[in-house]
């Protein structure tokens, strides 16, 4: 059933259908199942989404017959822009050439269970979280900081990092929504540099990923979860390791 794959990575779906009712029903079913869904009402609208970097789909659901750019011509244009698995969806028998050009066929009306079975083939195990791969803070760097400044100074440094990460999280979320991959990479670079200096290893790793893969906005959106986790772990470290810090629930 939909929503049962929360521990796995669901593919981003691009749905192209000129029929508003069909488009909204399918999009609603997918969204309720936890899928990130982008919709387009025609072929040109879909190409604009891909060209603008706002959508990096793992699966494309494409109506077989639409006004304007459609059929094999649209499939060719989608293939040039995406490596997504492409299903043709149709309420009547589409041309054989269209079926052959696509990767799969779903005949309308199909049930949510049928759609889920098709999409489950494209569910993958998530990438290992950078948060679990790194210590929160480098013990070597922490020892060096303690050797050159009082404990209050060390607390001040890491409290400032936590505050900065929380601000940058908001800026990153806004940049992702605006499709500004250059800003995502810039913010990632800043996070990486600042956190590396203080030995905040988890947050530094998140910054590296945002800098190197900022063009993939869907991936960057997922990395925001890791940034939140790295920030929370730093808060906890302030309390547990530095004896007097900030409230981890704040």
Query: Do 112 and 185 lie in a common domain?
Result: no
247, pLDDT greater than 50: no
33: containing domain: 13-120
Q: How many domains does the chain have?
A: 2
Rounded average pLDDT over 69-89 = 92
What is the per-residue pLDDT for 241? 66
The predicted structure's pLDDT at residue 242: 60
pTM for the model: 0.52
At 119-177, the pLDDT tens digits run 988 876 556 666 667 889 999 999 999 999 998 899 999 999 999 999 999 999 999 99
* Choice between 238 and 115, residue whose per-residue pLDDT is larger: 115
Q: In the predicted model, is pLDDT for residue 246 greater than 80? A: no
pLDDT in tens, 35-71: 889 999 999 999 999 998 878 899 999 998 888 888 8
**229 compared with 240, residue with greater pLDDT:** 229
Average pLDDT, the chain: 87
Q: Are residues 56 and 108 in the same domain?
A: yes
Based on the fold, state whether residues 93 and 174 are members of the same structural domain: no
What is the full DSSP assignment across 174-239?
HHHHTT-HHHHHHHHHHHHHHHHHHT-HHHHHHHHHHHHHTT-HHHHHHHHHHHHHHHHHHHHHHH
**152: CATH:** 1.20.120.160
* Alpha carbon separation from 119 to 13, 55, 62, 184, 216 (Å, rounded): 9, 17, 14, 29, 21
Q: Is 166 within the bounds of a domain?
A: yes
């Amino acid at each position: 059933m939909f929503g049962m794959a929360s521990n796995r990575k669901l593919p981003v779906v691009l749905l192209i259908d000129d029929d508003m009712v069909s488009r909204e029903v399918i999009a609603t079913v997918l969204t309720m199942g936890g899928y990130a869904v982008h919709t387009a009402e025609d072929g040109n609208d879909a190409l604009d989404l891909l060209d603008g970097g706002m959508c990096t789909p793992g699966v494309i659901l494409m109506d077989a017959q639409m006004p304007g750019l459609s059929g094999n011509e649209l499939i060719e244009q989608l293939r040039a822009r995406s490596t997504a698995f492409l299903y043709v969806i149709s309420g009547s028998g589409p041309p054989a050439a269209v079926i052959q050009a696509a990767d799969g066929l779903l005949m309308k009306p199909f049930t949510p269970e049928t759609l889920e079975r098709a999409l489950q083939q494209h569910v993958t195990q998530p990438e290992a979280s950078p948060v679990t791969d790194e210590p929160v803070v480098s013990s070597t760097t922490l020892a060096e900081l303690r050797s050159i400044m009082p404990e209050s100074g060390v607390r001040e440094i890491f409290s400032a990092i936590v505050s900065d990460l929380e601000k940058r999280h908001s800026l990153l979320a806004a940049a992702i929504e605006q499709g500004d991959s250059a800003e995502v990479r810039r913010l990632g670079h800043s996070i990486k540099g600042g956190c590396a200096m203080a030995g905040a290893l988890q947050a530094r790793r998140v910054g590296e990923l945002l800098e190197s893969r900022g063009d993939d906005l869907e991936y960057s959106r997922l990395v925001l979860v890791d940034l939140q986790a790295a920030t929370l772990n730093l808060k906890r470290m302030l309390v547990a390791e530095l004896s007097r810090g900030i409230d981890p629930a704040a």
